[in-house]
Amino acid sequence: MIYTVTVNPSIDYIVQLKELTLGEVNRMDYDNKLPGGKGINVSRILRELGHDSVALGFLGGKTGEIVREALEHDGLKTDFTPIAQDTRINVKIHAQQETEINGRGPHVSDAEVASFKEQLSHLTADDTVIFAGSLAPNLDSGFYFDLIKMIRQQEAQFVIDTTGESLLKTLPEHPLLVKPNNYELADLFHTTFNGLDDIVAAGRKLLTMGAQHVLVSMAGDGGLMITPDKVYRSLAPKGTVINSVGAGDSMIGGFVGTFAATNDPLEAFRYGLACGSATAFSEDLATRAKIDEILPQIEISEYK
């Protein structure tokens, strides 16, 4: 089973208006309320692809009930840990510019953390846990690392969507997938790249440090998958970028879901690219129809 973990989920209140004028009353043209969180996004993409997952994390109060009910209404399996404080609300304003006002999120007690950890105490080698998104305000990065060690002791796989030193700390535990973009990869090693050969060399370094698969997204230049033996490249499919939010989550969902079903990293790479691009070309996360539309455009070639 694939488990996604969203520690600090939200209701995303999306507001659209032609122009936002500060200090005046503004009237919106459109609004919507959606369950938010990077792990939740991954679960939504897995559902579109027909892969089972269970969405885990913390939910509390009336806002938490709204998130859970919305996910279950959409057919997602959930097993969130209940907490005393309310799940946060994020406001996403689409006007002349996109503006976000994100809530801090609830305090999670020691007892609530212990209850959550119990949910992950029965994993097997057939399971994969995906950590994505910000932590609740009172939790530090040690929260993820404690869970990762517990997961690996049970021989389950894990993916954590993070960058910088936080990413480097996970590598000795052999994450199934790491997914930096080319800029994040350069920052990771405090360097600049002068071409694809430099990117490949840095990606291979991540493999030697413990990563099992390395994907490097390069926006309009496509993406790379770096393995110990070979490097594969795909150019970006054609389309108009409408919304980059969730594209990375979609790429993870496409890769992990396909890899879990096929154990074929090349096919997983193809679906990861298609899902990421399909979301970028959509107003919300990609639908299966949009993913299927993009898939024929994904041409993967071996890069020396």
- Tokens matching residue 120: 């992950």
127 catalytically annotated: no
| Predicted local confidence at residue 228, as pLDDT | 85
| Predicted local confidence at residue 161, as pLDDT | 87
In this prediction the pTM is 0.91
22: pLDDT strictly greater than 70: yes
Mean pLDDT for the chain?
A: 92
Task: Name the one residue in this structure whose structure tokens are 């790379």.
Answer: 224
- Which pLDDT tens digit goes with each residue over 186-212? 999 999 999 899 999 999 999 999 999
User: What is the DSSP-derived secondary structure letter of residue 260?
Assistant: H
| Predicted local confidence at residue 243, as pLDDT | 74
What average pLDDT does the segment 128-156 reach? 91
Rounded CA-CA distance 204/211 in Å is: 9
**CATH fourth-level superfamily of 1-20+27-161:** Ribokinase (3.40.1190.20)
| CA angle centred on 116, ends 110 and 119, rounded to 5° | 150
Domain 1-20+27-161 identical in fold to domain 168-304 = yes
Task: Name the one residue in this structure whose structure tokens are 């509390």.
Answer: 60
Q: Which helix (H) or strand (E) holds 80?
A: none
| Predicted local confidence at residue 295, as pLDDT | 95
Rounded CA-CA distance 48/190 in Å is: 38
Catalytic entry in 52, 140, 249, 264: 249
For residue 304, name the pLDDT band (cuts at 50, 70, 90). Answer: low
What average pLDDT does the segment 37-42 reach? 94
Rounded CA-CA distance 186/178 in Å is: 14
| Predicted local confidence at residue 140, as pLDDT | 86
- Which pLDDT tens digit goes with each residue over 49-99? 999 999 999 999 999 999 999 999 989 999 999 999 999 999 989 888 888
Domain boundaries, the chain: 1-20+27-161, 168-304
What average pLDDT does the segment 138-146 reach? 88
- Which pLDDT tens digit goes with each residue over 224-280? 999 888 999 998 888 888 777 788 899 999 999 999 999 999 999 999 999 999 998
| Predicted local confidence at residue 236, as pLDDT | 84
- Tokens matching residue 97: 């510019």
Rounded CA-CA distance 113/303 in Å is: 45
**CATH fourth-level superfamily of 168-304:** Ribokinase (3.40.1190.20)
119: pLDDT strictly greater than 70: yes
